[in-house]
Amino acid sequence: MKITLIKPSLGNVITGYNINDGSMEPLQLAIIAGLIKHPDQVILYDDRLETIPFDEKADLVCITVDTFNARRAYQIAGEYRKRGVKVVLGGMHVSLLPDEATLYADSVVVGDAEPIWDEMIADYKKGQLKTRYNAPFGVPQDGCYPDRNIFKGKKYLPISLLQFSRGCKYNCTFCSVSKFFHHAHQCRKMEDVLYEIEKDNLKTILFVDDNMITNREELSVFLKELIPLKVKWASQSSIDMVNDKALLRLMTDSGCVGNLIGFESINPNTLKWFNKSPNLRNFNNYKEALEILRDYGFMTWASFMIGNDFDTNDTIDRTVEFAIKNKFTLSFFHVLMPYPGTKVYEQFKSEDRLLYDGHWWNHPDYRYNHAAFRPKLMTPEQLTEATIKANKDFYSLSSVASRIFDTKTNMKNLFNLMVYTRFNHVLKKTSI
Ligand code: B12
Ligand code: SF4
């Protein structure tokens, strides 16, 4: 039996979307590969990096689907089904909208792969694949490890993805995570995470936790155990980490290089609108919080949501100035997207502000990172343009040259300098 795993791109020439550059390893597919008992039975095709050989023999195709690549995922599923190959879809988008996904697949998995995998494969072998499997969400399964051999020979960024925990206790109005995990947060068994690091000799790690600092007690115990492994790591964490100095010290001691932090906005009214509570508590234009992060030597990858009800061209320009002035290592200026299931989606729907019939992710005219709703103080086109400009301005040569000069962060050591130049280069290319 041969199982083909697929990570869809944001779209390709067929859809007119752009192909992504500087991709990271798709961890969920390595987890699925780890569930397959015979390594010779599994192969990965990453649509972001390579052309999928649809005519190559496959018995079962498993595709991971997020909302932003759902349309491309459905196209890929269609290509295989045309050839008589059974297709299973899973992932966040499928779990949020299983009825939609069912139209494009032989089977859909709602929730995590681990608890239902063996049952699904047994059903497939009997010719009795069910149209839907329901599994729990975000409940870490002891003793499940990704099989990273599927990544061999593929040109991913040199950083390994790893999970310590899943979910987040906060409830930001634009975020799919709160809905998906029902505000629950769960840590994996610490021994499993440490074993995985040693087994796969992971040296540079991105913890893909939604908010790594959610359970500070468990995290602190884990970080103490991480220190002797001498890894370098980065996390996704909320800015309220600055309120726990003992935790920050442990993060530094265990090799934390920096953090991806959702700033979202520099306007407190917007933060309230987004229900971004960790930021509101540390606001004061983030001045103190940023000083603390610099004192601990962390690089900051800042994420901003552009297009809220208070945004104009002027506020967007000021947000970029803020990011440059604070010498953020990287920044991401995202068009606010109404993801299905989120409060923002429901609000725009009730105010009749959704474009593309309310299903932008599966609309033939929609293009990635374009506005999919009517903003309050701008047109959708102005919002799209302003967001493109924000990314261009942040990755302009003068900005890259000025941000590098921070001896506490970007220029702290050779490793940080390498991270800074490599990732600014990748993001400059994709911002054009
Ligand atoms: C790491 C990460 C990234 C990394 C990239 C990772 C990569 N490999 O390329 C970076 C930081 C670059 C990134 C970028 C973006 N991301 Co992102 N990202 C994540 C994050 C935090 C973790 C993903 C992950 O690896 N999880 C670990 C795996 C093991 O869990 P999993 O995917 O849920 O898989 C399990 C189940 O879902 C299921 N499953 C999954 N697939 C399949 C398939 C089958 C067949 C089966 C049976 C089961 C199954 O089983 C798996 C194992 O338990 C998620 C948050 C989240 N919780 O998912 C956001 C998330 C996926 N990202 C999101 C977004 C919006 C983006 C961006 C569009 C942001 C932007 N505006 O630019 C970009 C898109 C980039 C791109 N071109 O693809 C949203 C997506 C929302 C949605 N409804 O789809 C999420 C959910 C974050 C959020 N807060 O809402 N992201
Ligand atoms: S803090 Fe981050 S992960 Fe948590 S709900 Fe808000 S945006 Fe989502």
C-alpha to C-alpha distance for 145 and 37, rounded to whole angstroms: 12
Backbone phi and psi for residue 316, each to the nearest 5 degrees, phi listed first: -70, -40
Distance 73 CA to ligand 1 centre (A): 14
Task: Judge if the beta carbon of residue 3 lies within 6 A of ligand 1.
Answer: no
Q: Which of these, 51, 67, 157, lies nearest to 429 by C-alpha position? A: 157
- CB under 8 Å, gap of 24 or more: what pairs does 240-246 form? 240/213, 240/278, 240/281, 240/282, 241/213, 242/282, 242/288, 242/289, 242/292, 242/293, 243/281, 243/282, 244/213, 244/216, 245/292, 246/220
Q: Whose CA is nearest to atom 8 of ligand 2?
A: 175
Helix, strand or coil, per DSSP, at residue 273? helix
Is the pLDDT confidence value at 15 over 60?
Answer: no
Range of weakest confidence among 8-22, 218-232, 303-317: 8-22
Distance 259 CA to ligand 2 centre (A): 14
305-350 pLDDT tens trace: 999 999 999 999 999 999 999 999 999 999 999 999 999 999 999 9
Task: Give the nearest ligand 1 atom to 27 CA.
Answer: 25
Question: What percentage of residues in the chain have a pLDDT greater than 90?
Answer: 87
Task: Judge if the beta carbon of residue 163 lies within 6 A of ligand 1.
Answer: yes
Is the pLDDT confidence value at 17 over 60?
Answer: no
Ligand number, closest to the Cα atom of 120? 1
Task: Judge if the beta carbon of residue 344 lies within 6 A of ligand 2.
Answer: no
Q: Whose CA is nearest to atom 80 of ligand 1?
A: 66
Q: Length of the chain in residues, anyone?
A: 432
Q: Model pTM greater than 0.75? A: yes
Task: Judge if the beta carbon of residue 77 lies within 6 A of ligand 1.
Answer: no
Q: Which of these, 73, 118, 75, lies nearest to 91 by C-alpha position? A: 73
Ligand number, closest to the Cα atom of 165? 1
pLDDT value of residue 180: 82
Is the pLDDT confidence value at 20 over 70?
Answer: no
First-to-final CA distance of the chain = 43
The encoded tokens of residue 380 equal: 């959708």
147-189 pLDDT tens trace: 999 999 998 999 999 999 999 999 999 999 977 888 889 999 9
pLDDT value of residue 13: 43
C-alpha to C-alpha distance for 44 and 128, rounded to whole angstroms: 25
Nearest-10 Cα torsion for 305, 310, 314, 320:
-20
Ligand number, closest to the Cα atom of 181? 1
Local confidence band at 21 (pLDDT 50, 70, 90 cut-offs): low
Domains along the chain with CATH numbers: 3-134 (3.40.50.2300), 158-431 (3.80.30.20)
Query: Which residue has 């995985």 as its token pair?
Result: 196
The H-assigned helical ranges of 143-285 are: 176-181, 190-199, 216-226, 245-253, 268-273, 277-281
